[in-house]
Structures are given as C-alpha cells and as structure tokens.
Chains A and B, each alone.
Chain A
C-alpha cells in the first residue's frame, strides 16, 4: 500500500534541512507570519505545539495514513491523458486525479488531518470558512464522522451560487451560516470564522481550508496536502521511469498547488506553474489574480500578495470559479514567485470553460472549474514542448458542482 510510505513525518524528513521554510516564526522570506488579534496568539501557539508533537507520533501518522487510504481512497491515480495529449500534439500530459477522492476534491486530504488534531486537542466544535463549498463539505464530512459539532461560514453570494454544496453540508449535519458583510464571499466568510474563533476559542478548532491564514496554517495545510506531490512523484517514476518536466496547478489560496509542488521544490529541472483566475481579463480589473496583478500586503493573519486599492482596502474579486475567488494567496506562493522558483500565470473564465468542455469530451472527465484553469494553461504549454516531455496537471476536483454555472453561461436552464 502506497499509504504506508507516505507519512507526514517523511514529508518533513524530505524537506530541506537547514533552510526549512517557514522559519520558526512562520515566515517564508518576508511573507507569512502571524498578524492576528492578541486573543488568538495563544490558540495558534497551542495548535503549532500540538502539530509539532503529533506529526512525529507514530500513532497519529498511522491513523492519518489509514484514513487517507481507506476513507479518502488514496493513492489517487496518475492518469495518462493519451487522447488529449494527441490532440494537443506536444508533451505527454498526466492528470493527478484528486477529483476521485471522497467528496470530489483535494480538500479532504487536509480536513482528515486537521480533524485528527482537533480530537487530540480535545476540541468538541469545528468551524470552517468556505467559498465554493468544497472545503465546507470536506469539513462537514470529517466532523460528521467524528461526531463533532460543525459550523461553516459562507458568503451569502456564494450560498446562492453553490446551492448543492450548501445542501450537502446540511445533510452532513453542519450549520451553514450566511455571511452578509463586505463582498459576501470567501474573504468575508474567513473574517466571520475568525470572529467566531476569537469568541469560542476554548472549545473550538478552526479548520482553515487553504495554505493561507496565520502561522502555522500555511505550513500545516501544505504538509497535509503534500501527499499529492509525493504520490505523483512515485507514480511518475513507476509509469515513465523518469521525473516530470513541468507541474501545473490552479491557485486560489493555493493548497492543491502547494501540495503538488512541495515535494519537487528541490528538483530544479521540474518547472512549476501556478495558474490564477484572470476572470474577465487582467486588463479589466475583474479577476482574482493576486500574484499576477496584486502587490504585497497584510490580510487574514499573513503577509502575502493581495488585490487591493491604492489605499490598502481589499477589493472584490471576480472568477467564474468560486474556489479561486479570493483576493489573497498563500504566503509560500508569494515566496516562490519572488524567488523565481515557480511561475504564475492567469487564465480567463472563457479559456477555462473551453478546457472544461475539452477534457469532458476528449477524456470523459468533467473537471472542476478551478482545475479547468490549470487545464487551460496546459493546453497552451504542451504544444510548445517536445513530445517526450512530461507534464503533470493537478486535477484538483470534479466538476459536478459546476454544471449549473456552465449551463447558465451557455444560456441553458436545467
């Protein structure tokens, strides 16, 4: 079983000795950190201490590995998209099938891990924020299984856009609280979850869904998601006998991308591409591409690239994909951008939709609109690469949740 070699402790052993990031205070270069209300400093320290203790605990690691194997359904396949490769006429394209995980996306890798921490920290209430609802569903799922109360904050705009996921969360026993403040989307849901946490700090574990927020979350979520990259690395060796040449993943907060990239960061021959949402086009200002078009600032507990106005107020973002509709990005991506280790590009709503339809018709796989951004960039890059080259694309989620959005754009009433 592949799960037996893929442990959290090994992920840490894999990591660079000496220049391990984040540093002790949660910084990736100038990014990251812990910019929060004083009340939250203590629970964040407790979370960090608990994680440092349990990630070396063989019992914790064994339980996590077992959950990933038998509950999530790992390892997820690395699938050679032969027909799509032929159509594009360039590099060989492999899809890392995170869409086949339980609940239909990579988000569950992180929530099973954090739920194990919550139980060991004796927290009997879990809260989460969600945009598209995938992280909310993944959190409600692990909370149901653990028999723990679960409250999910979701912007009222997103509740309208993602009615099916809202109902899924409710079926799983979670309370979904509509957030009416600000732009009524993911960033406001995060604000409201932080307000809940500061109020119920003794009883509550906050499961953040992406590699953002105050330290230790960017590290914690990354570590739980690196199972994606470790599997992909081994699977690529096994199937092709060599390393990939490029990795491509979509970036909203950036957890699926960090999970794929992290085990390859030391391999300088592997190019890393993060794909942001260009919405209606970067030039229109209606997008969610914080790395491509934003600048550094401080929001939600960390310093990172943000979309903001000239006075430092956070601006509203636009993307066809609710999961990418966020004005910030994980601080480690900001660091990878500045150091040049990863490249960040942006794909418009229209380009993502083309890729959505292409993969569906050519490979029989309906991808999430988030993942469709990564696919659309793949369609641009692959033809420019030689045929023996290898691209791994993170197919981070399945597209069932998006069919209403796609139909509406096509003028079809379901």
Chain B
C-alpha cells in the first residue's frame, strides 16, 4: 500500500503540472491580454507597456510560467489586484465555508438518499418506489439555482420561516452559530444530492439483490433483514464509495450556484466573481486547487474501494 501511495503521489505531481500549464496558457488568451484585463479597456498603450514591464508580463510565457510555478511552490499564489489581497488569503477564507456547506449538504443527502435507495430497491416497482423515482428525477433534472430560488420564494418570501440568505459570518464558528440561516442552502444542496445518491444506491442494491451469494445467505436461513444488512449492504456500498470519491470535485464545485443564490461567500462565489472580473491569479489558484481535490477524490475512492472489497489490493 505504501508503494502504491508513493506512485499515486508522483502521478499527482505530473498531472498537476500538466493541468497548470494548460490553464496558464488558456488564461493568457483572454481578449486584449491579461494586462488589459487588469488595467481595463481605457488604459493607454503606454500604461499597458509600463505595467507589463513592471510586472514581467513582457517576458516569454515559459518564463512567466516558471516564475509563477516557483512562487506557488513556496506557497505564494500571487496577489489579487482587484480585491487587493493575497490570493491565498482569499482562498483560505472561502474554502472552509464551502466545505461546511458541501459536506453538511452531501451528508444530509446521503443520510436520506441511501436508506430511500435501499427501500426502493427492496420494494422495486411498488407505488412508493415509483413516487420516489419521480421525486428523484425532479431533483436530478432541476438546475440547482432554480431549486434554491424556489425554496427562497416559498420559505423566505412567502412564509417568512427562514432568512433568504446564508449566514454572513466570516468564521466557521460564526456560520454554525446561525443554523436557521443555513437551512435553506443546505436543503437545496441536500435535495440535489439526495436525488443523485438514492438513484445510485437503488441500482447498486438491485444489482446485488439478484446475486447468487444472496440466495446462499437465504439458504442458510438468514432473515431478509440479515440478508440485506449483513450481505447486500456492504457489497452495494462498494460502488457508492467509488462514486463518492469521484464526485468530490463536484461536491465542492457543486456549491457554486447555491452560493450565488444565497450570497454565501465560499469558493463558488469566489470563483464566480473571479471569472466575472477576469481575475487571472485567482482563477489559476482555484484551478490548481480543484485539480488537487479531483486527484485526492480519486485516491480516496480507490482507498475506500480497497477497504470495502477484499478482492482489490494495491501493491
């Protein structure tokens, strides 16, 4: 396993370098060049030239990339001129907020989706299964922002039960101390997550319920409850854990519209603003971070897979 992890780490480095090169090149293709993106359309050619020289934008791209990479390796993600703060400060402020929202949302979604998925698989084609399938398809098919806006309309605007915006506190403690404000964004997130995971779990259990080993368990005299929880459950989770790992970047990134709708200053909102303002340093940093999260998710999926399925051993 150790050798495997070392190899995966090496892979991670290679992949990250490739992704940064591609992103770096793409972001330097912004219309008018990145200096114009910073100074604005009204800047005079002289100003652009002076600025380019001062900040090294006149150097060849590979030199710029090398410098950027070198700084990044030293923990310096650059300085965001639009928000007048170091990029790393902005990210470290936003990331925990997103993690709180995404993990609570996914957690609630899994807590609802997995049992309902099992229920649907066990009573497949029953009325309950069909109704739940309908609900899940609605969640699956609706854009997140629409779900968010509808919830705001009903529960905040019409019924005045919950506030229409997420907690505005800057610290995690502050966010968690305002749970009522957290309910609508989490509910939006959880609804979409539930739809996804209940479908995955339903089909995973249905794949397993017809397996020969299930019949063997019954032939031993095991009750249906025992067959389900003792045999089918763990085997069904194998594919769920794999998918969960692969979904990690989506879980983090999936918050983007929810954060915009509820004005929740997390990674999603940060990236949204960066894209609107052509904030190159910030976008580069977020891309690198997303790459690392994607690779981490893959690694977690593989480790979880090996833990649940004894047939898989990495050497």
Is the pairing of A and B real? no
Chain A positions within 8 Å of B, measured between CB atoms, are none
